[in-house]
Amino acid sequence: MNNLENVLNKLDLDEQNIINTRRYIHENPEVSFEEKNTSSYIKNFYENLGMDAKSCDDGYGLIVDIDSGNPGKCIALRADFDALPVQEINDLPFKSKKDGVMHACGHDGHTAYLMYVAKALNEIKTQLNGKIRIIHQPAEEKMPGGALSMIKDGCLEGVDHVLGAHVMSNLKANKMFYHLGETQTGRANFKLTIQGLGGHASMPQISNDAILAGSYFVNEVQSIVSRRVNPSSMGVVTIGSFDGKGSANSINGLVTLEGDVRYFDNETKDLIQTNMENIVSGIEKAFSVKTDLNYQNNYPVLYNNPEFTKYAVEEIKKAGLPIEECDKQDPSEDFAYYAEKIPSTFLYVGCDVNDGKSHPHHSSEFQMDENCLIVVAKSIATVTLNYLK
């Protein structure tokens, strides 16, 4: 039995353990930057195997090095482990035990499969070359994201490539997927405060209506995408919150709007911000109001290095595991920070439960076909093992 067959066999033997681990983490979710118990659980897993799990300065992130003792390259494997402030409504035997918190994006599955990939690879490490760095990352879901602090703490030092994967409920279950180049959107968030002059509803002429100015902003900002963004590019501007509560017979003098921006290239990123700032400046003059726009660019576009991605795909195919190309994915992902620094690839595994219902990420009904976990575990292990031959 060669090394690859040995590792894949070990993963088969641990398949139910992977599922059980995922279910335990699912039952005990913790939101971003509060994952104290989850981090301890992961750390204890490695310590019980005699492996050293180093805590990062952020407190919850963990790095586990698997050193072959032989010269060679270093590949990093990354998985996130935070949950979301979502109330689970699924009727599952391992339903979340924490009110208002749920693993609604599959990070419980990411963590479980990577723990057992690390276990299997560690058992044959002396037969490899180079080093494997396991990165268990907190806080992917919340700005500024956990990747930045882990990079600052040195998780990429000496690393040649980074490999990650995400379960996807919109893709066919138990098959791997990939995309070359720009793969997931970059993201920005903004908060706009409009200060007008409140007054009596019967005397609008002596007031400056902040709701009217805000409504104009909501409509006008969509013209950025329809009239400024190149039709061959992608841009989305969403107003997610419009806080202007008042009374029916009053003109509101203060409103606050919050929103989200997505894009696939830096030209569109800059264009949207510049045009939004111009619109806000115009609103001040047109409505005689004062504005405060807090615009923050955060996660960059996730770029899959074509050369390394093609290598990973070919190794997965050689192993007889299913993989095919997919379209770009609209959500943003802070794995993009690793890919900015190091040639990386972020793969996907379909987890659609195929019950005739929709189970979208970040919803209270998110579910996954747990059979996908052995598929992604074997795929990631295959690429890693062959990379360190």
What pLDDT digit, counting tens, does each position of 112-137 carry? 999 999 999 999 999 999 999 999 99
Quick one: pLDDT at residue 125?
A: 97
pLDDT at 1 over 90: no
- Does residue 389 surpass a pLDDT of 90? no
**30 belongs to the catalytic site:** no
Question: Mapping DSSP to helix (H, G, I), strand (E, B) and coil, where does residue 344 land?
Answer: strand
Report how far residue 45's alpha carbon sits from residue 134's, in angstroms, rounded to the nearest whole number. 13
Q: What is the pLDDT of residues 285-330, one digit of tens each?
A: 999 999 999 999 999 999 999 999 999 999 999 999 999 999 999 9
- 58 catalytically annotated: no
Q: Could you write out the three-class secondary structure of 213-253?
A: HHHHHHHHHHHHHHHCCCCCCCEEEEEEEEECCCCCCEECC
Per-residue pLDDT band for 231 (boundaries 50, 70, 90) equals very high
Cα separation, 262 vs 138, in Å, equals 23
Q: Which residue is listed with tokens 């040649």?
A: 160
Q: What is the pLDDT of residue 292?
A: 98
Strand order in the sheet with 254-263: 235-243, 254-263, 186-195, 290-297
Q: In the chain, list all ranges with CATH 3.40.630.10.
A: 3-184+301-387
Helices (H), 33-192: 36-48, 107-122, 146-152
Check residue 378 and give its pLDDT.
Answer: 98
Instruction: In whole angstroms, give the CA distance from residue 303 to residue 290.
Output: 39
> Which residue is catalytic, options 14, 82, 334, 370?
82
pTM of the model: 0.94
Q: State the chain's mean pLDDT as an integer.
A: 97
Options 14, 140, 209, 352, the catalytic residue: 140
pLDDT of residue 373: 98
3-184+301-387 homologous superfamily? Zn peptidases (3.40.630.10)
pLDDT band, residue 58 (cuts 50/70/90)? low
What's residue 59's pLDDT?
77
> Distances from the Cα of 24 to the Cαs of 109, 264, 284, 293, 353, in angstroms?
10, 36, 53, 43, 20
Q: Rounded to an integer, what distance in angstroms lies between the CA atom of residue 9 and that of residue 1?
A: 10
pLDDT score of 56: 87
At the topology level, CATH places domain 186-297 in Alpha-Beta Plaits (3.30.70)
Distance of CA 78 to the CA centre of its chain: 12
ω into residue 331 within 30 of 0, thus cis?
no
Does residue 92 register a pLDDT over 90? yes
CB 326 within 8 A of CB 179: yes
Residues of the chain with CATH 3.30.70.360: 186-297
